[in-house]
């Protein structure tokens, strides 16, 4: 049977790419990925006030697709336009609240903590992503030679500054102080992994703070990230990334959230963290270090199976 062809539309941010590509792979479709660019005036206008017209966005050329998977504000109008103007049956799937009528899409996938409802809405516990348990297992030994084999490991996954959280040096050092205390009290070695949003300033601070006794990865290295997830006994993730917390939940390991002081109301982030806390997936970094069990979460596969049933 010929595979469906997919067109993935995002604004090019790592978290969005991870979600659309993760779903496309779970659906087992062939896909191409296009970064959406809106034409100048429409950059400033919310989707609900933007006409469903190719004048609003820079076109992609001639494309052949059966399924559109979009994520992010800029991709809303292109997804609707391309579906409406296709000469064949096309399914369009939007990840996150599109802020327009949900009837414009065949499926809308939204985090449970957003509270979105509708007959075509599929709710997810956390963010979709493109990591798999097999990938994590296959990269287990990637960091092995750089670590002390006589210790257990704590993985610290760093996010980065955004409009919600204050990543000042002082606030960062406060998080590092808590982790250093945990390392010393439990005789652990730290593996510190930056994300796409982690600026060099923060990586430099981590290097100076944790020194040669621990491993700080200085570059974006997916294999190192996967290896860290596999090797770690405990995982700490900064509070600013629902994507990285969701990815860590694939492991079934204890996850601690490192809180960063806020700059503005982080209601949606807090609702997400409250959900994961109730599911016994995460605890706060201030809590006692311990091992606990929960069923690992793979929402990407679950949702892909639900969509397959409906379009088969």
Q: Which residues are registered as beta bridge partners of 5? A: 30
* pLDDT score for 13: 86
Q: Are residues 138 and 264 in the same domain?
A: yes
Q: How many CB atoms lie within 10 A of CB 15?
A: 21
- Give the CATH number for residue 176: 3.40.50.2000
Classify residue 291: in a domain, yes or no: no
* pLDDT score for 3: 87
- Give the CATH number for residue 84: 3.40.50
Q: Are residues 99 and 224 in the same domain?
A: no
Q: Are residues 240 and 274 in the same domain?
A: yes
* pLDDT score for 209: 96
Nearest to 113 by CA among 251, 277, 259: 277
* pLDDT score for 61: 77
Q: Are residues 14 and 116 in the same domain?
A: yes
- Residue 177, token pair as written in the block: 């102080």
* pLDDT score for 1: 47
The Cα diameter of the chain in Å comes to 64
**Mean pLDDT for each 10-residue chunk of the chain (312 residues)?**
88 90 96 94 93 91 90 96 94 96 97 90 93 95 94 96 95 97 97 94 96 93 97 97 93 97 93 94 94 92 96 86
* pLDDT score for 115: 85
Q: Are 84 and 58 in contact (CB under 8 A)?
A: no
Domain that holds residue 217: 133-284
- Residue 273, token pair as written in the block: 């963290």
In order of 26, 39, 103, the CA distances from 228 in angstroms are 23, 41, 42
* CA dist., res. 264 & res. 262, Å (int): 6
Alpha helices in the chain (DSSP H): 14-26, 76-84, 133-138, 169-186, 200-210, 222-231, 242-248, 267-278, 299-311
How many helices, marked H, and strands, marked E, lie in the chain?
Answer: 9, 12
Classify residue 41: in a domain, yes or no: yes
Classify residue 295: in a domain, yes or no: no
Q: Are residues 138 and 280 in the same domain?
A: yes
């Amino acid at each position: 049977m010929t595979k469906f062809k997919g067109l993935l539309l995002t604004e090019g941010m790592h978290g969005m790419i991870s979600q659309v590509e993760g779903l496309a792979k779970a659906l087992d479709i062939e896909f191409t990925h296009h970064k959406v660019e809106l034409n100048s005036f429409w950059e400033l206008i919310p989707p609900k006030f933007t006409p469903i017209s190719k004048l609003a966005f820079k076109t992609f050329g001639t494309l052949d697709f059966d399924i559109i998977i979009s994520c992010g504000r800029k991709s809303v109008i292109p997804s609707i336009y391309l579906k409406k103007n296709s000469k064949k049956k096309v399914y369009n799937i939007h990840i996150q609240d599109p802020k327009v009528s949900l009837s414009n899409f065949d499926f809308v996938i939204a985090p449970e903590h957003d509270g979105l409802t509708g007959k075509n809405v599929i709710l997810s516990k956390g963010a979709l992503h493109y990591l798999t348990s097999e990938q994590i297992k296959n990269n287990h030994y990637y960091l092995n030679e750089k670590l002390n084999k006589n210790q257990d490991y704590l993985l610290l996954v760093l996010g980065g500054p955004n409009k919600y959280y204050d990543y000042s040096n002082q606030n960062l050092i406060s998080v590092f102080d808590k982790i250093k205390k945990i390392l010393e009290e439990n005789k652990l070695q730290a593996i510190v992994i930056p994300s796409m949003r982690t600026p060099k300033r923060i990586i430099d601070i981590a290097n100076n703070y944790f020194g040669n006794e621990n491993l700080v990865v200085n570059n974006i290295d997916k294999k190192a990230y996967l290896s860290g997830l596999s090797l770690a006994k405990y995982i700490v993730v900064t509070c600013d990334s629902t994507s990285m917390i969701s990815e860590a939940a694939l492991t079934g390991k204890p996850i601690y959230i490192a809180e960063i002081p806020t700059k503005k109301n982080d209601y949606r982030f807090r609702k997400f963290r409250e959900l994961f806390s109730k599911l016994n997936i995460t605890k706060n970094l201030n809590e006692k270090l311990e091992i606990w069990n929960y069923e690992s979460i793979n929402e990407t596969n679950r949702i892909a199976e639900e969509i397959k049933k409906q379009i088969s």
